[in-house]
Amino acid sequence: MRLLELAALVGADAPSLSGEVEITGVASLDEAREGDVTFFGNPRYLSRLRASKASAVIVPRAFDEEITPVLIRVDNPSAAFAEVVTALTPAEPPTQPGIHPSAVVDPTAVVAAGASIGPLAVVESGAVIGENSVIGSGCLIGRETRMGRNCRLHPGAIIRERCFLGDRVILQPGAVIGSCGFGYEFQEGRHLKIRQTGIVEIGNDVEIGANTTVDRARFGRTVIGEGSKIDNLVQIAHNVQIGPHTVICSQVGISGSTRIGAYVTLAGQVGLAGHIEVGDKAVLAAKAGVSKNVPAGSTLVGAPAKPMKEWKESNFYISQLQKLYARVKELERKLGGE
């Protein structure tokens, strides 16, 4: 791809670009070489940008430092770079519709003509798979589960019985939807299992990461709202309800019956107690431990979680304890204390 073509692709300002420069690959700032394009969007990597051997770098429009690589100025370097990666990376071969001979599909299941069922996949009785959906090798679609159009289940994903998926849902390898909620009653010295009879309902355009688990409700529904993106290794317990367009990062654990609003961000390793509510557009920073309701629009940090300003103040005072201790000891010495 010529540099001017690349600039046009991402909507960059291009009057000073040389159209003769050819871009043949994409790479990080550190690994880029002649012919590669990379991107710069975080000021902490400025030294790496200055040392980069890339032929071109996608940068914010306001970037004004002169460096060796040709600068391609855009509003959002990360998004623009994603477009370039797509353009320069060979597309995946199209999946052929049909059912692989080694797949097991119950006669009562309904599989759309344009859907694809991969090797060793199992589709149980009464399941419905929508048009152009792709079921990878080794997947399980439980009985009476319904899946919309253009869904993609990567190898080893499991959806148990009676769950509902909207359109364009993506499950990464090993994701498990509809596993039993963790419910027991302690009676006569034993933990007795409580039957989990509810379902999981997943909205349109949801993506769920590898080895993430979404438990079915004890009764009623566990809900993942449309457009939400869930990372790998996340645990979502029974009867949790997650609003639309929420982002949940790796190793988050959400206890039962907790409600998460819309456009919420849960950073890595956040833990939430059960039966609490998190308001719309709240942000919970990495490793936050949340045991109480979270107001909409707030940012919480730490364990136990507290507002960002309060957390910073507490950390500041803690950092002064050693100096305070030394001052107290000096005062005791002057006053004749021990």
| pLDDT per residue as tens digits for the range 12-41 | 865 455 556 889 999 999 999 999 999 999
Q: Indicate the average pLDDT of the chain.
A: 94
Q: Which of 59, 88, 117 is the last residue of a domain?
A: 88
Residues 22 and 148 in one domain: no
Same domain? For 48 and 139 the reply is no
Is residue 329 one of the residues assigned to a domain?
Answer: no
The whole domain housing 124 covers 98-310
* Same domain? 206 vs 243: yes
User: What per-residue confidence (pLDDT) applies to 337?
Assistant: 61
Q: Are residues 143 and 237 in the same domain?
A: yes
Ramachandran class of 85: left when φ > 0, alpha when ψ lies in -120 to 50, beta otherwise: alpha
Q: Are residues 36 and 181 in the same domain?
A: no
* 257 and 280, same domain (yes or no): yes
Asked if pLDDT for residue 158 goes beyond 90, the answer is yes
- Report the CATH number at residue 192: 2.160.10.10
Q: Are residues 214 and 193 in the same domain?
A: yes
Q: Do 49 and 109 reside in the same domain of the chain?
A: no
Would 38 be classed as within a structural domain? yes
Q: Is 333 within a domain?
A: no
The residue with tokens 């199992």 is 122
Closest CA to 175 of 202, 195, 144: 202
Domain boundary among 52, 68, 88: 88
- Number of domains composing the chain: 2
Angstrom distance (rounded) from CA 159 to CA 161? 7
Q: Is residue 328 part of a domain?
A: no
Of 29, 56, 88, the domain-final residue:
88
Among candidates 116, 73, 79, which has minimal Cα distance to 97? Answer: 116
Quick one: 279 and 304 in the same domain?
A: yes
Q: Which two tokens stand for residue 335?
A: 């006053």
- If asked whether residues 38 and 159 sit together in one domain, one would say no
User: Does residue 251 have a pLDDT over 70?
Assistant: yes
Instruction: CATH number of the domain at 23, please.
Output: 3.40.1390.10
Residues annotated as catalytic are 238
Angstrom distance (rounded) from CA 171 to CA 165: 10
| In a shared domain, residues 111 and 73 | no
What would the mean pLDDT of 264-276 be, rounded to a whole number?
98
- Six token digits for residue 94: 């199209």
By DSSP bridging, strand 190-193 and strand 229-230 are: unpaired
Q: pLDDT tier at 338 (50, 70, 90 boundaries)? A: low
User: In the predicted model, is pLDDT for residue 42 greater than 60?
Assistant: yes
Say if residue 69's pLDDT is above 70. yes
Do 211 and 141 share a structural domain? Answer: yes
Report the percentage of the chain scoring pLDDT > 70.
97
